[in-house]
Amino acid sequence: MKVNGRTIMAGKATGEVIKLDEPLSFLGGVDGSTGDLRVGRGGNVAGKILVFPKGKGSTVGSFVMYDLMVHGKAPAAVINESAETIVATGAVISSIPMVDSIPSVGMFQDGDVVTVDASSGEVEIADVRCRAVVSSVLEKDGKVLLLRRPKSIGSFPGLWSLVSGKIEEGESPEEAAAREIMEETAISVGSPDGSMDPIYVREGSTLWKVYPFLFHVGDAEPVLNEENEEFAWESPEGLDGKDLVTDTDLVVRRLMG
Amino acid sequence: MDLTKAEEAILNGESGEGMQKAMELVTALGKIYGAEDLIDITSAHLSGASYKTIGDGGLKYLEDMAAGGARVSVPSTLNPVGMDRGRWAEMHISQEFAEKQLRIIELYGKMGVRTTCSCTPYTGANVPSYGDHVAWAESSALSFVNSYIGARTNREGGPGALAAAILGKTANYGLHLDEKRKPTVVIEAEIDGSVFSYSMLGQAVGMAIGSGVPYFRGISPEVEEAKTLSAAMAASGSVALWHAEGVTPEAGSFDTSGLETIHIGKAELEAAYDKLNTVQDVQLIALGCPHLTEKEMHQIASFLKGKKKVNKDIEIWFCTSEEVRAKCPEDVRIMEEFGPVLADTCMVVAPIEGAFQRTGTNSAKAGNYLPTLCSQKAMCRDISALMELVM
């Protein structure tokens, strides 16, 4: 699959992803002469496609990137959600291709083979396909409806999920959300009461682009079809004890405030 | 970004690799901050001068830039370095550090940068005029020229300012634009007017607002006070521009009605003082952050004249620029009875952590950075209170 970012430093590179989920300070975070990562899951950045949300920390970080380049330990490319001065400066002075404005580092996994064409801003993740889905929070009296997926299903088997499903061709995310809710719970909804920007959830070679919605459903009770095995109304605090599909708690917390 | 044909040509490498690199950096930063185009600058002031702060990566970067023939195209000055060029042994500095530091200065010199190394270039070596667009690093100096002179600069980083100096242009966004120079908050200040009270005021304002453009009522800073206030707010917060009613050149052009007003008085100044004082005894007293002006040198010398340093366990450093030191030989003679008058360096960018753990200063800026950049416990008091510790 391909995604388009913004050029910060031009150039092309292909390599394996090493990813951090938190902002990175090159000063202290990376050894300038060896390329060893001292944060996250460790590893080494040399020749890798280094993916992290954004830079932080001391401005000396730019020179740590230069040090990496001098020692032949620089990453092959840098991908950020949003560039800031320190990392952008380091990438430019060290001629490390860099792209930002990538929707989420959640699209990537360690070991993904990624080709960065930083001159056009295009980033291609090999052997990953993107699927657009909706995922709806149905809220009643401060509780959220969870559905248990069958153990036999291919995606997230046996886990509790929101009311989710694929967006069909020609369908808007809102339409897909209403259709899935009707199919899976027999509850009729109007326009969503809330939504947020899509989030990205990786499951093996599939990247789910998830459009989250919120619906207040009054006193409705779900009638399940064959897609799910059971349902439960759960308070946001009660989610912690359940086996959930990735980022379900994040969506509930954001949409239910 | 909207580049001219000539700028595009530089970006495409038609003026050589050094110019291309500089253009890549200025345009990349411009893109991040939403600049629409570039703007000509009349001067630059560069940070990233101390070997302590830039390390071997920075040194190699400067080696490569200089070897590539990079040269600044506008008058450019340099921040303080990690030691006094002639007296580094008195600062407990190693031979290796000294050699690398001298090399860094030499490399900036090769690129055409004037190597008087001071954080107060606006008192002599590099003085912008009202309305000038400039590219300055050094948070205290850029805030001073923005605010007290009415020149226009963003908070540039070291390599970004060097790239701008090479091109003679920087990205046009932020404080280069009228809209971004408007006050965002009114500060009703109640202080005693001493230089030290400006240090505490700046600390308190930085703590209260973090960033933004404060508009002061009730203060009348001269150069020394403005220098101190700028430094303090840039260290405790990230303030790069402030206005003072009836004092600074742009203050009269704004309508402040409708802005939030914050009162800074006794309680806030005490909270600022407490934040900066974490130790009761010190090994080093360091004055001159930002660098002492001629007036401050005279004041300190007349305070010290006829007095004796009794406590030999505490060292004292006076930090100023080479220019100012050369202008005040009589003051220097008196001050040297108490400790070295060091030129072109300071307690923040020198590697003092090798020799000291507890340092006293009269500067809120140093008070903020001594713990983080120099691993010190810090004391922050006015000069006479600090000097009492050794008399």
Structural domain boundaries enclosing B316: 277-388
CATH number of the domain enclosing B113: 3.30.499.10
B57 and A59 in contact by Cβ < 8 A?
Answer: no
Tally of domains in chain B: 3
Mean pLDDT value across residues B4-27: 94
Task: Return the number of CB contacts < 8 Å for A and B.
Answer: 68
B77-104 pLDDT tens trace = 999 999 999 999 999 999 999 999 999 9
Fold of A2-125: Glucose Oxidase; domain 1 (3.50.30)
Number of other CB atoms surrounding residue A175 within 10 Å: 13
Nearest C-alpha in B relative to A32: B57
Residues B32 and B146 occupy one common structural domain: yes
CA distance B212 to chain A (A): 19
> What's the pLDDT score for residue B15?
92
Whether A31 contacts chain B with CB within 8 A: no
B290 three-state secondary structure: strand
> What's the pLDDT score for residue B118?
97
Distances (CA, A) of A106 to A110, A245, B160: 11, 14, 31
- Mean pLDDT across chain B: 96
* Cβ pair A127, A108 in contact under 8 A: no
The two beta strands, B76-78 and B315-320, are unpaired
Distances (CA, A) of B144 to A169, B30, B123, B225: 59, 23, 11, 10
Domain positions in chain A: 2-125, 129-256
Helix axis angle for B17-32 and B158-167, nearest 10°, is 120
Q: Is residue B144 predicted with pLDDT exceeding 90?
A: yes
What residues in chain A have per-residue pLDDT under 50?
none
* Residue that is last in its domain, among B136, B152, B178: B178
Residues B242 and B310 occupy one common structural domain: no
Which positions 51-70 of A are in contact with B (Cβ < 8 Å)?
Answer: 59-60, 62-68, 70
CA distance B57 to chain A (A): 4
Q: Tell which of A69, A93, A96, A119 to mutate to test the B interface (max B CBs under 10 Å).
A: A93
How far from the centroid of its chain's Cα atoms is residue A111's Cα?
A: 16
The two beta strands, B284-292 and B315-320, are parallel
Question: In terms of CATH, what superfamily is A129-256?
Answer: Nucleoside Triphosphate Pyrophosphohydrolase (3.90.79.10)
Quick check: is A235 catalytic? no
Residues B285 and B268 occupy one common structural domain: no
What global pTM score does this model have? 0.87
Closest listed residue to residue B49, CA positions, set B351, B349, B372, B352 = B349
Residues B82 and B28 occupy one common structural domain: yes
| Cα radius of gyration (chain A) | 21
Structure tokens at A77: 């490319």
Chain B positions in Cβ-Cβ contact with residue A84 (cut-off 8 Å): 32
Q: Is residue B174 predicted with pLDDT exceeding 90?
A: yes
B26-74 pLDDT tens trace = 999 999 999 999 999 999 999 999 999 999 999 999 999 999 889 999 9
> What's the pLDDT score for residue B313?
94
Chain B positions in Cβ-Cβ contact with residue A9 (cut-off 8 Å): 24, 28
Q: ipTM score of the complex?
A: 0.80
Whether A34 contacts chain B with CB within 8 A: no
> What's the pLDDT score for residue B305?
96
A83-141 pLDDT tens trace = 999 999 999 999 999 999 999 999 999 999 999 998 899 999 999 999 999 999 999 99
At A212, the amino acid letter reads P
Residues B128 and B20 occupy one common structural domain: yes
Q: Is residue B372 predicted with pLDDT exceeding 90?
A: no
> What's the pLDDT score for residue A27?
86
CA distance A108 to B215: 46
* Cβ pair A86, A59 in contact under 8 A: yes
Tokens 């004082």 label which residue?
Answer: B277
Residues B234 and B250 occupy one common structural domain: yes
Q: Tell which of A92, A99, A100 to mutate to test the B interface (max B CBs under 10 Å).
A: A92
Contacts (Cβ under 8 Å, ≥6 apart) of A36: A30, A42, A43, A44
Structure tokens at A247: 């980022």
Number of other CB atoms surrounding residue B212 within 10 Å: 19
> What's the pLDDT score for residue A58?
79
* Residue that is last in its domain, among B275, B307, B324: B275
* Cβ pair A7, A88 in contact under 8 A: no
At B252, the amino acid letter reads G
* Residue that is last in its domain, among B178, B205, B221: B178
Chain A positions in Cβ-Cβ contact with residue B25 (cut-off 8 Å): 89, 92-93
Bridge partner list, A165: A134
DSSP letter for each residue of B215-271: EEES----HHHHHHHHHHHHHHS-----EETTTSTTGGG---TT--EEEE-HHHHHH
